[in-house]
Structure 1
Amino acid sequence: MKKRSKGRWLGLLSVASLLQAAGPQEDTVLPFPNAGFEEQAKGWSLCPMSTIVKGKAATGDFSLRTVDTDDGKGGSNARGPKISIDYTGRFEVSGMVLPISGSGLGIYVGAYTAKGKLLTGQSHVMAAPNGPKEQWVPFRGTATAPKGTAYLQLWVHSYSMAKVDAYLDDLEIKFKRDLSMKWAKDLGTIKQRLVERNLGGTDPVDVGSIVKDQQPDGNWADVKYDDRERTYWKAHTHCSRLLTLARAYRRGATDPKLDKQTLGQAVGKGVDYWAKRKPRNPNWWHNVIGVPRIMYRALLLAEPGLTPEQVAKGCKIVAEAKLGMTGQNLVWVAECNIARGCLEGDPAVTGQAFERIADEVRITTKEGIQPDYSFYQHGQQLYSGGYGKGFSHDCPYFAALAAGTTFAFSEEKVDIMVRYLLDGQQWMIRNQVFDYSACGREISRAGGGSSRGLEGACDNAAKLGHPRTAELLVMAERQRKGIGGKTPALVGNRHFWRSEYGVHHRPGYLASVRLASTRLQLSETCNAENMRGEHLSDGINYIYRSGEEYRRIMPVWDWRKLPGITAQHIKRAPRPGGGRGTKTFAGGVSDGQYGLAAMDFARGRLSARKAWFFFDDEYVCLGAGIRCQTEAPVTTSLNQCLLRGDVKVADDRGTRVLPRGEHHLKGLRWVHHDGVAYVLPTPGSLTVRNDAQTGNWKTVSHPLSDKPVTMDVFSAWVDHGQQVADGSYAYVVAPTVSDKGVEDYAKALPVTVLANRADLQAAYHAGLRRAEFVFYKAGACMVPSLGEVRVDQPCALMAVWSGQGLALSAANPE
């Protein structure tokens, strides 16, 4: 995967007010000394990876050759001569390229002040030599000189992790008059679209009371402007009220006594007060993102009722959102700059912000969209349902906002957005609930885990003319109405190898597994959120049918009995999340319909080999080699979810419905709760608890309430005891078997455990003629009636026998 350039270079440059530009009245080619390299290196600054060569040129005798062998030392660099200009506008950069091999060649245009200061921004005129190999082909792209530009300079740069061999010749930079004027005109289109999209629905807030309670200097007496709470900042209420007033101003208030002048003045006074008081929060996010995102909306909607001085003050607040971040944070600050450019009448600011968003829509191995379409934020950390949810919502929004204008996103960027929604996000959702494993610390928020809003993302993406539009519309419908009726459920299996995370969809359920390894950061604690998240990446295995199984359960959870995990119950409370796993063996394999996940797990003095094998109506959960030489009891949790209806069991006392309480069951064959059957292939002991549990949100997230919360909870776990030397477990989860059918299902279990040892775990489904294996070292496994499977190294492997022969799917979890 190619690495982004580290330079602060201007590729989609900005443009000042073009109506005042003194540029030529027609397209004009700029003087570009030695643009064809016939004077060899004159005027150019070259590094060892870039050379002037003779005998291979588009015209003349000489050309520039770039050869990067991917040594990770920063890529190649070739800087051209300075090209003086004394006007602003948009430019076309063109030339000829002869690709030999590889990709990752970029051409940038830097815009400098007279003092040699590089103006902020980054452009990408050509991402890579994608034309036919060994043939000269033309390339072209656009760039812009913003206000204050004194000269332009071309930069040819191969990415620091790229492998590329290519020639360049006949470079040219041309001022484009019509393009420049169209950009300025399109700014008005963007501004109008922003106003329309931020009107919102009918506001339930009493606008009259907000106006009445506002003090003469613009503040509200009940707002705590000195509040220092890092997450739920009380001073933010001031900005929210400004937006409410601004929406009423633009739409017209329902109260006839509130005329536009009164509402506009109220917004203006509020802007004046905030600009004078300058409330600040110790959490940078509120100052740089939270407040600017609310303020720009209020300014756009109420602008006709504000003085120019008030708009300028507000824009200064919005300008706190400075470009230069990554992932979703970058999208948020760019959003603020799109609006600020509209408010200031400067397409330079707006254009640069659109380009930065488009630039962030890329496949990366750093923060952002990963090659498997999961999402990282705050390092190598799965955040698809947190920051990644906002990213998947906002990027299609801005692509649709820019559609049909000179700010429009390229087909490549649209394709990445669509794939991220369809091949990433939708696989982590059941009905309108985002799998909590993908949400990071946001599960400690009362509203965490909702996927609502992604229907709008699909609607916006569907407007962009992508070949997979029909799939987007199905996803949008599923988001609106849930699964059922004419909306088909998602069916298949995905293992997101970049995030050590697997999901398995069938019409009746979604099951997920999140693993820990040295390659990834575990679910974090930040701003005192997720204070008990120590075990959230330890093989947690959620089971969703309706999606409501875990809603708001977090304050009453036993955090050492999270679904699927094996943990030791030491006396201290679970610690905050963070850090990394301690083992390298973690991962899975998937063929798109079936899959498995496994890991060599260790935390403290506890270690275990854990594996999950996914079929159709069931999946098999195995644990082996469990070791913990301490006095702390060790358990493996089958599930811990909200209690819904009866809990039915079959053990050595027969089949019965359990009364409320905690039950230590022996000779257990199966447990059934809320449509899910848990079957032990070999009868054994299990503890089941179906009773009330009490806690509070503050233990999970310090900014929240310490008021007691009580919920009825179902929990089932294997007790491995103390001083565990070689513990194990085996159970089958069947999420669609009814309480009436579970006995027959258990008697004729369609799956067989082939092995459950520290060196090998395997399961076989006779009806599917499918076997799945986790080899922790080289070895062999016999499959009944089908033969032996042997491997010469550790791996995850699936085998299916059919009339066409044997099909294998394999992966290296290390």
Structure 2
Amino acid sequence: MTTAWSRRALLATGGGTALALGLPTAASASGPAALPASAASTTAADAADEFAALRAKWRDLYLGTGFSPTAEPFKSKLADLGNQASGFRSTMAPARGSLWPDLVYLDPDPDTDTESFGFSANMNTGYNRLRTMAEAYSQPGTGLTGDTGLRDAVITGLDHLHADVFNETTARYGNWWNWQIGAPQALMDTCVLLHDDLTDAQRAAYCKAVDTFLPDSAVGSYTGTSTGANRVDLCRGIILRGIVGADAAKIALAVAALSPVFPYVTTGDGFYPDGSFVQHTSIPYIGGYGAVLNDGLGRLFALLRGSTWEITDPGSRQFLDTIDAAIAPFIYDGLMMDNVSGRGITRVGSSDHTRAHGVMASIVLLGMGAGPEENARWRAMVKGWLKRDYHAPALKSGSLSLVNTARLQTLLDDTSVTASPEPSAHRVFHNMDRATHRRRGWGAGLSMASARIAHYEFGNGENKRGWHTGSGWLQWWGDGAGLEQYSDAYWPTVDPYRLPGTTVSRKKLADGQGGAWANPKPGTKWVGGTGDGEFGTTGQHLQGLASTMHARKSWFWLDDCVVCLGSGITSADGAGVETVVDNRCLGTSGTPRLLLDGKAQPTTQGWTTTRTTTWAHLDRHAGYVFPGGTELHALREERTGAWKDINDDGTTAPNTRRYVTLWQDHGTDPADSGYAYILLPGASSARTAARAADTGWLQILANDARRTGIRVPSLGFTGVNFWEAGTAGKVTASAPVCVQIHEKRDGTATICVSDPSRTVTGLTLTWQRHVKSVLSKAETVTGVRTGSSVTVTFGDLSSSRGATHTVRVRVR
């Protein structure tokens, strides 16, 4: 069971399986500003009963219901919980400045903030340990269920922390989060679990302490640290304080304060209409803060449903849309893609799989309050993820809470639910510079940076070498290989200058380059893409982090491959520049066969070669085709690193993993260099060789600093990134836009256009193809001329923030 319930745990336990969620359907005020008149007339006994009912419901949400404590995996989890609690009780030693000897929380030098983050975190961890002990006391089957000695130890600890540090006379130090979110939540959870064992005076004193550090003003305005997931957490703390202290006004205040979370945003933190989720102003964070927001709102909906304070803001129903629009596209076969998890990717003990586990349980909980069609679809989707995750199954994960285990086990055992497969779909998230591409058999995610979205996030000593995760980093997973790719000690062992898909200067960067919480962004604006839901076209004008390196990178997302082109690669760093075709982690002993133009290469560690190559193949991984051939560098190596190298809180134990790396070297200080390759995830060597031999399959229309485009005749596909106005093949654009044309077998074609730079106030697009008629067009289209060619004129695209504008035409 989790004991350190800090932000770094990402997801707390979810709701009980016996509770229906439900969301309001009638439009109403955004939340009660004060108690309704009906509530004012209730008797004191009625009010007490309602607070008691809410405490009971929160107990169920926190502890879970409907599972057998004598059946696995619950029996083992409960025993582990009891062992943890027993260990905490045996080592607890109240003293001035600490409750446990290893958790000193009083800052000896409050004028210096360097170390105070750690002290405040220790205070928060102390409350988390007490909550774990209270849970072991309250849960069945822990070996400590109802143990009065354990209960008394928890109360002793609560009194000590209150008297020593967490009270109305203490000045806050260190990390604000520990004082306003972490400690208040853990304290109020514990008060709910032990409510009847605490005196009125104790509960009042603890509530007063929460009021001190989590005052009403913390949710007074939607800004700073009171937005998005943080806002939900703050409201949760206030609501629980209201329930513990029988304060109706507190609950009403927090419910009303949730309202700004629901609407889609156009800047800053929150969910966007395209499914993007941003936190810390410029960090894509669906796998971190977005998951916390999802989980937190789901439980608050469940908690307050049917009460005086039921959440009735009409915008709350919009929140359900985020499951399909934002969450699901980034979960693949039971893992959460790293490119939306910020600095959390470097936390030891967590992985892309463990980050997905709690999210899946939250989706099941939210489905209880959705419509029947949504609930059925979500349950089938989650069951598919559960069944396909062979690497780190959620129900065998030690990181999954007991209550979430119960919810997911119930779903897996439900024979009325048929697991759904991964969908075939392409998605562009233009508000956070991300794209996902999914086919039956493989999936991929792309991470970019722009003047809007940071290269990477560094803070709290985490993710010190994530510098190039926004440099066109291309993750992919395939059938039979790959689900463990980024989970098996990848981050402490991978070469941070050689992330797959990236183009980078080898200029040495400092740990945490740019500084903590700086969220460094490039100055480039042309970053984004378009797509028709099946295929996609994406581009990035890349400027390297703390580098003079510029490149124009393009990806064309097709049925069995990704075509990757680069142009205009220029640098003056005095360092080499490379494009990393791939960098596959092979575990501790993997030696898959590598073929270069059909010839097997040595499997010796440390082996490297450079040779002109037209295709390569790595067994059980992928094929790579290089149109026209390229000078390819290949390397087998063992790399050793510790989590401590990339995260101050990590362990020093060494991890060694094997890698096969393929890259193209553009040389030192290149001028207008480029590259071209085709990535075929999961392809056999025969299929890779056949694609390389079919020289007519791909037509590269242009690949320079002005435009990059391709045509694939067999797919009826044309994609062009116009870095500036120009012509590529049969397509001409009067402005810098992204264009994709997909001709279908039914005689129609879909023309998709986006303005990644958000600067285009008018566009004339011409396609030299006979077009009979227009079937539909975007509102931004101001005119269409058909005939032997088609010319489409668009009005202002800049205000659409990079969204796709679609025109459907009949070509025969």
Sort the TM-score into its range (normalised by shorter chain). Answer: 0.7 to 0.9
1:445 pairs with 2:347: yes
Matches within 5 A, 1:385-784: 385-410=287-312, 412-446=314-348, 447-449=350-352, 450-466=355-371, 467-482=373-388, 486-545=419-478, 546-551=482-487, 552-573=489-510, 575-576=512-513, 578-603=519-544, 604-643=547-586, 645-651=590-596, 654-656=599-601, 658-673=603-618, 674-748=620-694, 750-782=697-729
Partners of 1:798 and 1:175 lie apart in 2 by 58
Partners of 1:216 and 1:562 lie apart in 2 by 48
Q: 1:230 to 1:259 in 2, by over 3 A?
A: same
1:584 deviates by 1.3
The amino acid across from 2:574 in the alignment is E
Task: Choose which of 257, 268, 283 in structure 2 pairs with 1:381.
Answer: 283
Matches within 5 A, 1:45-124: none
Matches within 5 A, 1:91-240: 143-145=32-34, 175-176=37-38, 186-199=50-63, 202=78, 204=80, 205-206=82-83, 207-215=85-93, 219-226=99-106, 228=115, 230=117, 233-240=121-128
Partners of 1:414 and 1:635 lie apart in 2 by 47
Partners of 1:215 and 1:203 lie apart in 2 by 24
TM-score normalized by the length of structure 1: 0.74
Q: 1:188 to 1:608 in 2, by over 3 A?
A: same
C-alpha offsets along residues 440-463 of structure 1, whole Å, 9 cap, x if unaligned? 111121214321111221112111
1:778 deviates by 1.7
The amino acid across from 1:301 in the alignment is L
What is the RMSD computed on CA atoms of the aligned residues? 3.0
Partners of 1:229 and 1:480 lie apart in 2 by 41
Question: Conserved in 2, the CA contact under 8 Å of 1:652 and 1:667?
Answer: no
1:670 deviates by 2.1
The amino acid across from 2:333 in the alignment is N
Partners of 1:711 and 1:236 lie apart in 2 by 35
Partners of 2:451 and 2:137 lie apart in 1 by 54
- SS of alignment partner, residue 767 of structure 1: helix
Q: Which has the higher contact order (CA 8 A, sep 6+)?
A: 2
C-alpha offsets along residues 134-191 of structure 1, whole Å, 9 cap, x if unaligned? xxxxx87874436xxxxxxxxxxxxxxxxxxxxxxxxxxx944688678875433322
Aligned to 1:341: 242
- SS of alignment partner, residue 596 of structure 1: strand
Runs of 5+ unmatched residues, structure 1: 1-125, 131-138, 147-173, 783-787
Q: 1:725 to 1:222 in 2, by over 3 A?
A: closer
Runs of 5+ unmatched residues, structure 2: 1-24, 65-76, 108-114, 167-171, 220-225, 391-417, 758-812
The amino acid across from 1:456 in the alignment is A
1:291 pairs with 2:176: no
Structure with the bigger percentage of strand: 1
Q: Which moved more, 1:204-213 or 1:390-399?
A: 204-213
Question: Conserved in 2, the CA contact under 8 Å of 1:455 and 1:477?
Answer: no
Question: Conserved in 2, the CA contact under 8 Å of 1:441 and 1:529?
Answer: yes
Partners of 2:210 and 2:141 lie apart in 1 by 26
Partners of 1:494 and 1:179 lie apart in 2 by 52
C-alpha offsets along residues 338-385 of structure 1, whole Å, 9 cap, x if unaligned? 211111112221232233234412211221111212111111321111
Partners of 1:197 and 1:534 lie apart in 2 by 39
1:622 deviates by 0.4
- SS of alignment partner, residue 282 of structure 2: coil
- SS of alignment partner, residue 511 of structure 1: strand
Q: 1:266 to 1:652 in 2, by over 3 A?
A: closer
Aligned to 1:73: none
The amino acid across from 2:130 in the alignment is L
Partners of 1:255 and 1:599 lie apart in 2 by 57
The amino acid across from 1:566 in the alignment is T
- SS of alignment partner, residue 246 of structure 1: helix
The amino acid across from 2:204 in the alignment is A
Identity of aligned residues (%): 25
Question: Conserved in 1, the CA contact under 8 Å of 2:723 and 2:736?
Answer: yes
The amino acid across from 1:521 in the alignment is A
Question: Conserved in 1, the CA contact under 8 Å of 2:30 and 2:312?
Answer: no
- SS of alignment partner, residue 202 of structure 1: helix
Question: Conserved in 1, the CA contact under 8 Å of 2:530 and 2:537?
Answer: yes
Partners of 1:357 and 1:806 lie apart in 2 by 44
- SS of alignment partner, residue 283 of structure 2: coil
Partners of 1:278 and 1:542 lie apart in 2 by 45
The amino acid across from 1:262 in the alignment is G
| Aligned pairs, number | 647
Point out the structure with max Rg over C-alpha: 1
- SS of alignment partner, residue 63 of structure 2: coil
TM-score normalized by the length of structure 2: 0.74
1:247 pairs with 2:135: yes
Q: 1:740 to 1:313 in 2, by over 3 A?
A: farther
Partners of 1:229 and 1:706 lie apart in 2 by 23
Q: 1:419 to 1:722 in 2, by over 3 A?
A: same
Partners of 1:452 and 1:259 lie apart in 2 by 30
Question: Conserved in 2, the CA contact under 8 Å of 1:647 and 1:690?
Answer: no
- SS of alignment partner, residue 444 of structure 2: strand
C-alpha offsets along residues 234-261 of structure 1, whole Å, 9 cap, x if unaligned? 44443233112212332357547x7543
The amino acid across from 2:472 in the alignment is G
Question: Conserved in 2, the CA contact under 8 Å of 1:697 and 1:706?
Answer: yes
The amino acid across from 1:499 in the alignment is M
C-alpha offsets along residues 476-518 of structure 1, whole Å, 9 cap, x if unaligned? 2234333699431132011001111111111222212122221
C-alpha offsets along residues 700-736 of structure 1, whole Å, 9 cap, x if unaligned? 1223233432211222111111131121100000102
